[in-house]
Amino acid sequence: MKPYRRLRIFQNRVFPWGLKISLLAVAIIGVSQIGGCYYLQAAGGQMEILRKRIPIPEVIDNPDSSDQLKRRLAMVQQARQFAVEELLLPDNESYQTYADLERDFVVWNVIAAPEFSLQAKTWCYPIVGCVAYRGYFAEKAARRHGEKLRQDGYDVHVGGVTAYSTLGRFADPVLNTMMRWSDIDLAAVLFHELAHQRLFVKGDTGFNESFATAVAEIGVERWLRRQDKPSEIADYQGRGELQETLKSLVDTAKIELEGIYANEQSDEWKREKKQAVLDRLSSDADREVSQQPFAATNWLRPPLNNARLVSLVLYRGQLDTFRDLLKRCDGDLTCFYKEAEALTL
């Protein structure tokens, strides 16, 4: 039995709750047979998201909805239409509904790497293959698993995630957890998640996240140009340049760390040298961030460890490859997607 079954949702109506829950009950039985408690919590979390979906037009028309929420959701509708028409992303039932989960994060991801290695630990799942994180819908469960990994000798990072996608297998809603972002970041994550539905390679987290990040980058710049917002384009490009600078610092630190980990010195020597590299990386990144003319966050702030570095590299590690593809295609997205698909063969 497959671990999930797709449920159809339409813009102006959803299936009756009883049918939806009964179908998910079947899904829960299926996942419990193949993965025990972890899959049960995953199915339960997915059921909560599906149960709370409301078509966006209904939210906008509801007099109890705040003006701010109405404006943001109207912007989501425009960005989604742009994604379909201009970015050639899937026109399906995703992001046509809204769900308020009444919490700050939709899931908490656990990422781990050995103490002296930058190779991420992976977990394998029936649908997406092997990925470099394990997600939990409950923070306590995520931190409990993270602590177990620490006791096993891993560097661990547990972080809350504000966006969540089922790669189009369900009709993914816009979530309240996404509303904390700026309009630009909200559009970017919409493009990013729809890009996963356009191209997703089972078992290759680095490829998938870098590809989706590249599509989001392309999408935001074209979205802002259509809206004739040159100042916001300049700000967005400046943030991109900062991210590239920080990525360069990470790449340099990785080379140093790999040399340390390959050394035959004692573990204590490796720990001391490792910490010195990580401390310098945080300090250098903080200096770069503080020099920017716009407000920015140092996402390399301490405490750093191998798991944190792995999580940061996943989203941008192959970004230059996709930027080069776009240049070779002279900005044509049909060509870009075809060439990206060719990389997976």
pLDDT tens digit sequence for 48-68: 999 999 999 999 999 999 999
Mean pLDDT calculated for residue range 74-89: 97
Domain of residue 92: give its range: 55-226
What integer best gives the mean pLDDT of the chain? Answer: 86
Residues in the chain, total: 345
pLDDT digits (tens, 9 = 90+) for 11-42: 222 322 223 333 333 343 344 444 568 888 88
Contact, 286 vs 301, CB < 8 A? yes
**DSSP states along 109-174:** EEEEEETT--PPP-EEETTTEEES-EEESSHHHHHHHHHHHHHTTEEEEEEEES----TTSS-PPE
User: Measured between alpha carbons, how far is 293 from 283 in angstroms, rounded to an integer?
Assistant: 19
Same domain, 124 and 202: yes
Provide the whole-model pTM.
0.82
Same domain, 253 and 139: no
331 within a domain of the structure (yes/no): no
Q: Say what the pLDDT of residue 36 is.
A: 66
Same domain, 118 and 206: yes
Q: Which of 226, 256, 278 is the last residue of a domain?
A: 226
Same domain, 245 and 168: no
Same domain, 244 and 222: no
Eight-class DSSP state of 211? H
**DSSP states along 284-325:** HHHHHHHT-SS----TTPSSP-HHHHHHHHHTTTTHHHHHHH
208 within a domain of the structure (yes/no): yes
Which of 170-179, 248-257, 293-302, 331-340 is least confident? 293-302
Contact, 167 vs 63, CB < 8 A? no
Same domain, 38 and 174: no
Predicted confidence band of residue 229 (pLDDT cuts 50, 70, 90): confident
Q: Which of 226, 261, 292 is the last residue of a domain?
A: 226
pLDDT digits (tens, 9 = 90+) for 186-198: 999 999 999 999 9
* Nearest-5° Cα angle at 50, 44 to 54: 150
pLDDT at 239 over 50: yes
Contact, 54 vs 73, CB < 8 A? no
pLDDT digits (tens, 9 = 90+) for 82-134: 999 999 999 999 999 999 999 999 999 999 999 999 999 999 877 677 888 89
